Amino acid sequence: MPAFTLAIARPEHRGLLRSALLGLLAVAAALLAAELLGASRLKLSAGFIPKSLLVFGAGALLVLRDLPAHHPFPTLGPANTVTLVRGGLVALLAGLIGERAPGAPTFAVAIAVAVIVLDGVDGWLARRTGMASRFGARFDMETDAVLVAVLALLAWQFGKVAAWVLLSGLMRYLFLAAGALIPLLRRPVPSSLRGKSIAVLQILALIVAIAPFSSVALATAVAAIALGLLTASFLLDVVWWVRHADSAGGE
């Protein structure tokens, strides 16, 4: 697949795809090492490693597909490399879905904390190096969206929150589905401090929810508050779309 990708790439994109492939292979190797260590220490099932690699592989294909069209630089860049690492950690977290090992919640919290700490690094690097791009912003956002979905599944799986917590992870994808049916909802909403803050709070709340120290009552409370804020944020986005419907139609 990598050789085929480089073979069909336009000449001006080959350097970019080559740097992306090197980054993906490096993260995949580190991911495999972490999976082997985690599986042996926590006594996880034989499916843990394939699950993680499958999620990472799917993400890698999407990166290679979208990179040339939306990243106007000759190399992947340090910011997107950090996001690749974040993606690898999210894939490692996704491998815990369906796992019942006693140490899984602690392992999940450690991974999720590392992902959210690195979330502040990739944006800073993009600005610092002058390599901010539409691809980088979307890559970062989609990584966060998958992280929320996985954390919500784990909160339910670990018995901390009822099945309604899955709405936290499904919210973005439900709006994407709605956008496929309603053209108005396809228009990008301007980035805002409100949206970024609620996204971070959502992740932090779900980390608290899956933490071993959290009781069912605490996990349910923080998850419910975070879901309420997320729902309100999406509703405000809908209001923005409606208010700007006329200008969108005239473009």
pLDDT in tens, the chain (251 residues): 444 444 445 556 788 889 999 999 999 999 999 999 989 999 999 999 999 999 999 999 999 998 888 888 888 999 999 999 999 999 999 999 999 999 999 999 999 999 999 988 988 898 888 888 889 988 999 999 999 999 999 999 999 999 999 999 999 898 888 878 877 777 776 677 788 889 999 999 999 999 999 999 999 999 999 999 999 988 888 887 777 766 554 44
Question: How far apart, in whole angstroms, are the C-alpha atoms of residue 183 and residue 204?
Answer: 32
pLDDT tens figures, 25-37? 999 999 999 999 9
**Inter-residue contact 79 to 123 (CB < 8 Å):** yes
Rounded (10°) angle between helices 216-243 and 166-181 = 20
CA within 13 Å, CB half, 207: 18
The backbone torsions φ and ψ at residue 177, rounded to the nearest 5 degrees and listed phi first, read -65, -40
Can you give the pTM of this predicted structure? 0.90
Cα 250 → chain centroid:
34
Number of other residues whose CB lies within 10 A of the CB of residue 129: 12
For the chain, domains (ranges, CATH) are 2-243 (1.20.120)
Is there a contact between 83 and 61 (Cβ–Cβ < 8 Å)?
Answer: no
- Give the 3-state secondary structure of residue 71: coil
pLDDT tens, residue by residue, 162-196:
999 999 999 989 888 887 887 777 777 667 778 88
DSSP conformational letter for 190: P
